[in-house]
Structure 1
Amino acid sequence: MKYFWGLALCLILLGCDSDPGNRNPFLQEVRFRFELDLNLPAYVNLNTIGNPVYVDNPGVGIRGAFVMRNGLDSFIAFEASCPNQTPSACSTMEIEGQNVVCPCDGLTYSLFTGQLLNRPDDGNRYFDLLFYRTTFNGNVVTISN
C-alpha cells in the first residue's frame, strides 16, 4: 500500500508539469501594475469604446501596452512588442484603427481579440498578442501582469 501512494504521488507531480509549448519564446512576461486615470488627457480616448491608447510609461510591460475599452465597464490590454519578433529597434507595434501592426514583419493583430489577422500559411508557429489583466474601479483602469 505504501508503494501505491508513492506511485500515485509521483504521477500527480508529473501531471502538474506546466506546458512550456504555449509560452511565447520571444517575449518575457514581466511583472508590473499600472493605473490609468481616465480623467487625465492622455487617457481620454479610453472613455469611448474602441479607441485604443498606447501606454509607454517606464515599467509597463516590455515595450508598453495597448489598452482599449471593449464594453461599458470593461477594458482589454496587450503588450506593445511584436509577439513574433525578438525585441529590437523595429519591434514596437503601431496602432492602425482598432488593430496594431508590427513594422518588422507587417503582421496585423486585432485589439479586440489579440489574434493575428493575416497569419501566414507557411507551416511556422505564430503567436497572438500577449494579454495583460485589467480591472476597472471608479475612473481608474489598472493593467497588470
Structure 2
Amino acid sequence: MKKIWLLPLFIILLISCSENRTNNKNPNIPNYTVNFTVDMNLPLYSNLKYVSNGVIIQNQGAKGVIVFCTGIGTYNAFDAACPNQALSSCVAMTISGVNAVCSCDKVAYSLFTGLGDKEYPLKQYRVDVAGNTLRVYN
C-alpha cells in the first residue's frame, strides 16, 4: 500500500524537473535562432578562459551575444539587446566589469544571473563546453 503513494509522487517530481528554468519570453526581443561555436584558443576569445571575463559576439541573436565566464569551465550567454526596450530604440549593450549596461536607460544587468532592476532579465542562451570550444545555442 505504501508503494502506491510513491508512484504519484515520482510522476510529480518528474514533471516538475526542467533542463532550463530561465523564462526567455520577452516581447521586446524576437526569438532568433542562435547556434555558433567560440574557439577560446583564438586571441580574440582567449580571455574567456578566466573568470569574470566576457566578450560580445557580433552578428548573432538580436544585437549580438555576450559570452561570460562565471567560473572555471562554466559560462553564460545572453543576447546583447536591451531586454526592457524596443529592439529598434537601442544599440547593443556594453560590458562593464561583471555587468552588461543598456545604452538607452543605463540599467545594469548581472552577467552572472542576467538580472537587473527592470521587469525582464537578459535573454539567455545555452552553452556547452568541450575543451577550449564553446557551443552557444537555443
TM-score range, shorter chain: 0.7 to 0.9
Between the aligned residues of both structures, percent identity stands at: 40
Q: Which of 8, 32, 35 pairs up with 2:34?
A: 32
Residue 123 of structure 2 aligns with an amino acid whose one-letter code is L
Alignment of 1:114-133 (within 5 A): 114-116=114-116, 119=117, 126-133=119-126
How far apart in 1 are the matches of 2:24 and 2:124? 13
- Superposed counterparts of 1:1-145, under 5 Å: 23-56=25-58, 58=59, 60-88=60-88, 90-116=90-116, 119=117, 126-145=119-138
- Residue by residue over 1:45-104, the C-alpha shift from the partner in whole angstroms, topping out at 9 and shown as x without a partner, is 101011011111x2x111111111112111111000000111125331111111011111
- Aligned residues, how many? 116
> Unpaired runs of 5+ in structure 2?
1-22
| Contact 1:85 1:91 (8 Å CA) reproduced | no
TM-score under structure 1 normalisation? 0.75
Q: Distance in 1 between matches of 2:91 and 2:108?
A: 13
With normalisation by structure 2, the TM-score equals 0.79
Structure ranking higher in strand proportion = 2
> For residue 16 of structure 2, what is the aligned residue in structure 1?
none
Structure 1: which 5+ runs fail to align?
1-20, 121-125
RMSD after superposition: 1.6
Equivalent residue letter for 2:29: L
Question: Aligned partners of 1:77, 1:22: CA distance in 2, in Å?
Answer: 12
> How far did residue 22 of structure 1 move?
7.0
After TM superposition, the runs of 4+ consecutive aligned structure 1 residues lying more than 4 A away are none
- State the AA in 1 paired with 2:35: R
